[in-house]
């Protein structure tokens, strides 16, 4: 994990980009801090926010490059994200249902084609026999 000296080596725009990246990925329950450190749950003992729970980087510094997120907010985000995921999966299941129905119809159409092909074969056999009979009659006429 980089220390403060490394951060001060960054030019202003890379620092701002990193802060943006940290904020962009700040959704749901954080699994790790962008700095690579673990997230722990901390309960505030400061008077203003006493009892407030936070997901916070084990190596938190207030420089915009570490994760610190209110527990309630993270849980709300995560719940919203999971709900969206479930809705998305339900949509996919519906599409699968439609596909299943289509495959079933293709199966039935294919079975009906098999029947038609068998029937055509039978008709060709009949035409073959009729042609042979005609050929025999023509031969007898000659
Ligand atoms: Zn961190």
What confidence tens digit (pLDDT) does each residue in 119-141 have?
Answer: 999 999 999 999 999 999 999 88
Ligand 1 centroid to Cα of residue 2, in Å, is 10
Ligand 1 centroid to Cα of residue 117, in Å, is 70
Residue holding tokens 């995560």?
78
Is pLDDT of 8 > 70? no
Ligand 1 centroid to Cα of residue 39, in Å, is 8
Tens of pLDDT along 15-64? 888 888 777 777 889 989 999 999 999 999 888 888 899 999 999 999 98
Ligand 1 centroid to Cα of residue 56, in Å, is 8
Provide the whole-model pTM.
Answer: 0.56
Is pLDDT of 4 > 70? no
Q: What per-residue confidence (pLDDT) applies to 29?
A: 92
Q: What per-residue confidence (pLDDT) applies to 105?
A: 95
Report the distance separating Cα 35 and Cα 43, nearest Å: 21
Q: Which residue range is the domain that position 112 belongs to?
A: 4-141
Mean pLDDT of 78-96: 94
Ligand 1 centroid to Cα of residue 62, in Å, is 10
Ligand 1 centroid to Cα of residue 34, in Å, is 6
Number of domains comprising the chain = 1
Label residue 10 by pLDDT band (50, 70, 90).
Answer: low
Q: Please, are residues 60 and 40 in contact by the beta-carbon 8 Å criterion?
A: no
Ligand 1 centroid to Cα of residue 30, in Å, is 11
């Amino acid at each position: 994990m980089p220390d403060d000296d490394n951060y001060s080596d960054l030019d202003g725009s890379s620092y701002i980009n990193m802060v943006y990246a940290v904020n962009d990925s700040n959704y749901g329950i954080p699994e790790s801090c962008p700095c690579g450190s673990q997230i722990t749950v901390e309960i505030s003992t400061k008077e203003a926010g006493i009892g407030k729970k936070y997901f916070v980087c084990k190596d938190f510094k207030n420089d915009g490059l570490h994760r610190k997120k209110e527990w309630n907010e993270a849980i709300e985000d995560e719940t919203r994200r999971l709900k969206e995921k479930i809705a998305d999966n339900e949509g996919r299941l519906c599409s699968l249902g439609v596909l299943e129905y289509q495959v079933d119809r293709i199966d039935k159409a294919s079975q009906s084609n098999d029947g038609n092909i068998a029937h055509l074969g039978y008709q060709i056999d009949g035409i073959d026999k009729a042609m042979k009979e005609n050929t025999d009659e023509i031969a007898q006429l000659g």
